Amino acid sequence: MASQAAALVKEATDLVGLIGEVTEVRGTGAAAKALCPFHADRDTPSLSVSADKGVWHCFGCGLGGDALDFVQQSQAVGFRESLDILARRAGMDLGPSSVRRTRPQRLDRIRWQTSEFCHQLLRSDPSAARRGMHRSVARDLRTGRARPGL
Ligand SMILES: [Zn+2]
């Protein structure tokens, strides 16, 4: 059941788009590469993405796998939750068997989403560089900024 759902969800997922939500993917097809979000990947992108095979691999830190593995690594969640996340992303309904999140998992997710949101705010803020915040430092440390009222 879970493996069937996993196959459906992976098929419905655009791996390059998924990885592109976390790190910029350059190139297309078999040559698609990205700076790895899981280690301090500075100049040469070490993470390769094969959209055809639905897999990714980082030659720097050795992490890799499929779309579910990427979600598990990037969002610090388990297999079942990664299945739910990708199903929701693809607009699929996996039914009532979906995981009921425990409170700590929900809090982790909220923390991660908040930090990601603040990081994106900083990345899109042109004044960040003027204030001495180098992009690569901001990326490595996942630094963010807040908006009034946030
Ligand atoms: Zn890596």
Structure confidence at residue 99 (pLDDT): 53
Do residues 78 and 105 both lie within one domain? no
Say how many Å lie between the CA of residue 66 and the centre of ligand 1: 14
Mean pLDDT by 10 residues, the chain (150 residues): 86 94 89 94 92 94 97 96 94 67 69 76 74 71 70
Count of domains in the chain?
2
Say how many Å lie between the CA of residue 45 and the centre of ligand 1: 9
Residue 109 corresponds to which amino acid? R
Structure confidence at residue 80 (pLDDT): 92
134 CB-near residues (< 8 Å, 6+ apart):
none
Do residues 25 and 94 both lie within one domain? yes
Q: What is the CA radius of gyration of the chain?
A: 16
| The pair of three-digit structure tokens given for residue 64, joined into one six-digit string | 């890799």
Return the beta strands (E) in the chain as ranges: 25-26, 32-34, 47-50, 55-58, 64-65
Q: Which of 67, 83, 100 is the last residue of a domain?
A: 100
Do residues 8 and 77 both lie within one domain? yes
Do residues 78 and 14 both lie within one domain? yes
Structure confidence at residue 109 (pLDDT): 75
User: Dmax over Cα atoms in the chain, in whole Å?
Assistant: 52
Say how many Å lie between the CA of residue 47 and the centre of ligand 1: 6
Do residues 44 and 95 both lie within one domain? yes
Do residues 61 and 83 both lie within one domain? yes
Q: In whole angstroms, give the CA distance from residue 94 to residue 5.
A: 7
pTM of the model: 0.63
| The pair of three-digit structure tokens given for residue 6, joined into one six-digit string | 């996993």
Structure confidence at residue 35 (pLDDT): 95
Structural domain containing residue 126: 101-150
Cβ-contact 59, 72 below 8 angstroms: no
Say how many Å lie between the CA of residue 32 and the centre of ligand 1: 15
Kindly list the protein residues that place their beta carbon closer than 5 angstroms to ligand 1, a single-atom ion.
36, 38-39, 58, 60-61
Give percent helix, percent strand, percent coil of the chain, each to the nearest 5: 50, 10, 40
